Amino acid sequence: MSKSEEKTDVYNIENASGEEEHGLSAYVPERYRKPGEIGFAIIATVFGVLGYYFALGMTSDSYSAPSVFPKLASVIIIACGVICIFKACRKDAPEPGSPNVFRYLFPRDVIVILLMLLAYCVLLPKLHFIVSSYLFMAGGMVYLHRGKYIWQSMLISAGAMVVLVAIFRYVFLVILP
Amino acid sequence: MLQNIQYFLTPFLDWQMILLVWAGVFAGIWVGAIPGLSGTMAVSLLISFTFSWELNSALALMCGVFVGAVYGGAITAILLNIPGAPAAIATGMEGYPLAQRGEAGKAIGLCTTVSLFAGMVGVAVLACAAPIIANFALKFSPRDFFLLALMGILLIGSIGGGDPVKGVMAGTIGILISMVGMDPSTGELRYTFGNINLMAGISFVTAMIGLFGISEALTQFRGGNDNPPKQNLDKIIPNLKTFLKYLPLAIRSSMLGVFIGALPGTGGDVAALLAYDQAKRTTRNPEVPFGQGAYEGIVAPETANKGAIGGAFIPMLTLGIPGDAITAIIIGGLFIHGLKPGPMLMIETPHLFWMIVGLLIIANVALFILGLLSVKPFAKIIEIPKSVIMPIVIILSVIGTYAIQNSVADIFYMIGFGVIGYFMRLYGYATGPMVLGIILGPMLDANYRRTMQAAEDQIVPFLTGFVTSPLSLMLCIFIFFMIFSQTKTYKKWRKIS
């Protein structure tokens, strides 16, 4: 499948929602389930279950105990999660030809940027802010330009870094990581 | 009286103070526009910076930064869908779709014009009715703050969009996240898992930057064209007819903002969200539906958060109680300069009160002029290709997050929230309610528990308090109306009438 077809697929799936056409004021339930929608609702429900489980370890001897709100919030999350799972199950299966869960969540650009963010997080404590941020910015721009305009990307990144460091470090006195 | 007029005119006759207010507004606009950098941070920096200055000059600069920063938050919300401050979350919901249609200039122009109006309303109320409102605000008990937070939580229906169940779920997850850290009343650790970085809790600004900034960037990387929408910058100042059309809403929202701003502990963020909600409920047949770029959705939150500026000064100047975080810092500044903020401040130093009124008027005029002058350069930001702007936005988000408490862990949390926000957007869970939950969770929890403790942990006295106190009863009726107005019966009735 070509890249443009891949993008069109992703858009079709997103626009299967009635929200795009009717606006957010009038919610119209979607007809087709998005790939991984049930899984996401299950994860959110499990989050609520874990929230309740860990709240059991908190003091809960009175109505004003620290555990009251965590427990209440967890129960609401679980209830909403169950409704979301139920609603997702009632929808039609994802449209034929729609991408699998992984490809739906992570188109190539997203996965590359996420990997770059991961590398940035690893490099930040070691190379510190200026070097790691420059590498991320320049790398990101070069990648998003599909390998074109390398020098321009490096220059824009350098210029942006100079401006950011000057403003934050010397005007707002922010200590950079 | 004549003496008060003289005090009021002092800043207008001192070119140095005027200049400092303008410089403050200019700096404030940029500080407010950058996610993570806040007016609170800028004013606290100014405390040390202006330590050796005379009081009048220091106050001029602080007032300017305060007004500018509240306005600046809307700029990135409209242009990039990344609110510079929580008070601009609602603005971004309507402003960003407008920017995508090439109407960013018109949106910022309207936002600037109504900001001037609301700022003046706030100042007028401050000048005319400060003691009355301050005394009324003091009548709010923890139960009323609990109800106010509950009203805020009910806004999930307004700002969630899409499936209401998903909105409630996202908002409740936000509340649960806000519980992380040391419980402020008992010191008990909640959801910290022995991690020292979690003991201070998760800053809602960290979550906001991740959920809006990083998730927006990731969503943009999903594809589509790299050509940004061309902006129409011909008519950025709304004409009189347009202004008059939104005037009733602007008056309502700015008055709401003044009142919410005057309540200690609540500020422009809560005011803006409540105003957005009431605009959505009360506007009949908007030209563009809410969620797709309704101008009413810009006017309401922006007038509310500007009105809240004047409101925040009311308890500060009349009782010595800060209305929000920035006025708390200004109180600290007054102490440093040898004053004693408290109920006697207005009696012992009336010149200070009237001078602040004058400074706020100058700041609002400066905001109007500087705001309109910066519409074109700001609108150009959106015309930068996303392959260039998005990596810069991510780095800006990193700096903004780190600046909150100089913690690398916060950067990781912010990126984590960004990825979660990206998944949420894909599956139709709005990120706004989650931020709302994180902001209002502590207020809800703390005030519920205070109320319950006051009722000696007994359910019946706790519940009866809601009907025996006139203020609580009024708020309960508001809440009931908020819920009722979402029902089909009410909507049907409104269509008929």
For B111-144, the pLDDT digits (tens) are 999 999 999 999 998 888 877 777 777 788 889 8
Q: How confident is the model at residue B416 (pLDDT cuts 50, 70, 90)?
A: very high
A19 touches chain B (CB under 8 A): yes
Range of the domain at A38: 3-103
For B:428-457, CB contacts with A below 8 A are 428-429, 441, 444-445, 448-450, 452-453, 457
Nearest-neighbour CA in chain A from B118: distance (Å): 26
Reported as a single tens digit per residue, the pLDDT across A40-56 is: 999 999 999 999 999 99
Reported as a single tens digit per residue, the pLDDT across B317-364 is: 887 777 777 888 888 888 888 887 777 777 778 888 889 999 999 999
On whether both A112 and A139 belong to a single domain, the answer is yes
Number of domains in chain A: 2
Give bridge partners of residue B190 from the DSSP assignment.
B181
For A:64-103, CB contacts with B below 8 A are 64, 66, 68-70, 73-74, 76-77, 80-81, 83-84, 87
Domain boundary among A46, A81, A103: A103
Q: What is the pLDDT of residue A69?
A: 92
- Distance from C-alpha of B414 to C-alpha of B420, rounded to nearest angstrom: 10
- Distance from C-alpha of B477 to C-alpha of B470, rounded to nearest angstrom: 10
A59 touches chain B (CB under 8 A): yes
B460 touches chain A (CB under 8 A): no
Q: Please, are residues B432 and B424 in contact by the beta-carbon 8 Å criterion?
A: no
Helix (H) or strand (E) holding B190: strand B189-190
Q: What is the pLDDT of residue B483?
A: 78
Global pTM value: 0.78
Neighbouring residues of B204: CB distance < 8 A, sequence distance ≥ 6: B86, B178, B435, B438, B439
Domain presence at residue A141? yes
* Span between the terminal Cα atoms of chain B, in Å: 49
The dihedral sign for the CA sequence B485, B486, B487, B488: positive
3-class SS of residue B84: coil
Helix (H) or strand (E) holding B55: helix B55-80
Q: Which of A64, A77, A91 to mutate to test the interface with B (most CBs of B within 10 A)?
A: A64
Nearest-neighbour CA in chain A from B46: distance (Å): 10
Q: Which of B426, B451, B458 to mutate to test the interface with A (most CBs of A within 10 A)?
A: B426
Q: Which of A110, A124, A163, A167 to mutate to test the interface with B (most CBs of B within 10 A)?
A: A110
On whether both A84 and A133 belong to a single domain, the answer is no
Reported as a single tens digit per residue, the pLDDT across B191-230 is: 999 888 888 888 888 888 888 888 888 888 886 656 666 7
CA distances from B282 to A102, B126, B201 (A): 43, 27, 37
Which of B277 and A19 is assigned the larger pLDDT?
Answer: B277
Q: What is the pLDDT of residue A70?
A: 94
Instruction: Please indicate whether, in this complex, the C-beta atoms of B408 and A58 are within 8 angstroms of each other.
Output: no
Tracing tokens 């200026």 back to the chain, one arrives at: A130
The answer to whether residue B50 scores a pLDDT higher than 90 is no
Q: What is the pLDDT of residue A13?
A: 43
B182 touches chain A (CB under 8 A): no
On whether both A79 and A50 belong to a single domain, the answer is yes
Helix (H) or strand (E) holding B117: helix B104-138
A105 touches chain B (CB under 8 A): yes
Query: Residue A108: how many CA atoms within 13 Å on its side-chain side?
Result: 9
On whether both A54 and A41 belong to a single domain, the answer is yes
Domain presence at residue A176? no
Residue burial A87-121, b: 16+ Cβ < 10 Å; e: rest = bbeebeebeeebbeeebbbbbebbebbbebbeebb
Q: What is the pLDDT of residue B157?
A: 65
On whether both A111 and A67 belong to a single domain, the answer is no
- Distance from C-alpha of A149 to C-alpha of B387, rounded to nearest angstrom: 11
Domain boundary among A103, A133, A161: A103
Q: Which of B173, B415, B463 to mutate to test the interface with A (most CBs of A within 10 A)?
A: B173
Q: Please, are residues B374 and B79 in contact by the beta-carbon 8 Å criterion?
A: no
On whether both A72 and A139 belong to a single domain, the answer is no
Which of B413 and B380 is assigned the larger pLDDT?
Answer: B413
Residues in chain A within 8 Å Cβ distance of B218? 110, 113-114
A39 touches chain B (CB under 8 A): no
Q: What is the mean pLDDT of residues B3-26?
A: 89
Q: Please, are residues B294 and B288 in contact by the beta-carbon 8 Å criterion?
A: yes
* Structure letter (DSSP) for residue B343: T
On whether both A16 and A67 belong to a single domain, the answer is yes
Q: Please, are residues B165 and A87 in contact by the beta-carbon 8 Å criterion?
A: yes
3-class SS of residue B413: helix
The answer to whether residue A125 scores a pLDDT higher than 80 is yes
Helix (H) or strand (E) holding B16: helix B15-33
Instruction: Please indicate whether, in this complex, the C-beta atoms of B444 and A37 are within 8 angstroms of each other.
Output: no
| Of residues B301, B379, B293, the one with CA closest to residue B93 | B293
Q: What is the pLDDT of residue A19?
A: 39
For B:10-69, CB contacts with A below 8 A are 31, 37, 41-42, 45
Tracing tokens 């606006």 back to the chain, one arrives at: A23
Domain presence at residue A177? no
Domain boundary among A103, A120, A153: A103
pLDDT over 90 percentage in chain B = 25
On whether both A112 and A95 belong to a single domain, the answer is no
Instruction: Please indicate whether, in this complex, the C-beta atoms of A54 and B191 are within 8 angstroms of each other.
Output: yes
B164 touches chain A (CB under 8 A): yes
On whether both A78 and A164 belong to a single domain, the answer is no
pLDDT over 70 percentage in chain A = 83
Instruction: Please indicate whether, in this complex, the C-beta atoms of B222 and A69 are within 8 angstroms of each other.
Output: no
Q: How confident is the model at residue B64 (pLDDT cuts 50, 70, 90)?
A: very high
Q: What is the mean pLDDT of residues B59-81?
A: 88
Q: Please, are residues B106 and B362 in contact by the beta-carbon 8 Å criterion?
A: no
CB atoms within 10 A of CB B328: 18
* Packing angle of the helix pair A37-55, A68-90 (nearest 10 deg): 160
Q: Please, are residues A18 and A61 in contact by the beta-carbon 8 Å criterion?
A: no
Residues in chain A within 8 Å Cβ distance of B213? none
- Distance from C-alpha of B178 to C-alpha of B186, rounded to nearest angstrom: 16
The answer to whether residue A2 scores a pLDDT higher than 50 is no
On whether both A140 and A162 belong to a single domain, the answer is yes
For B460, the closest chain A residue by CA position comes to A63
3-class SS of residue B283: coil
Phi, psi values for residue A32, rounded to 5°: -100, 145
- Distance from C-alpha of A132 to C-alpha of B181, rounded to nearest angstrom: 30
On whether both A43 and A129 belong to a single domain, the answer is no
The answer to whether residue B294 scores a pLDDT higher than 50 is yes
Q: What is the pLDDT of residue A20?
A: 41
| Of residues B145, B84, B173, B174, the one with CA closest to residue B270 | B145
- Distance from C-alpha of B379 to C-alpha of A162, rounded to nearest angstrom: 22
Q: How confident is the model at residue B298 (pLDDT cuts 50, 70, 90)?
A: very high
Q: Which of A42, A74, A80 to mutate to test the interface with B (most CBs of B within 10 A)?
A: A80
A114 touches chain B (CB under 8 A): yes
Report the residue count for chain A: 177
Q: Please, are residues A177 and B408 in contact by the beta-carbon 8 Å criterion?
A: yes
ipTM above 0.95, yes or no: no
3-class SS of residue B189: strand
Give bridge partners of residue B181 from the DSSP assignment.
B190
Residues in chain A within 8 Å Cβ distance of B396? 164
Nearest-neighbour CA in chain B from A96: distance (Å): 18
Q: What is the pLDDT of residue B113?
A: 92
- Distance from C-alpha of B146 to C-alpha of B149, rounded to nearest angstrom: 5
CA–CA–CA angle B68, B266, B80 (5° rounding): 45
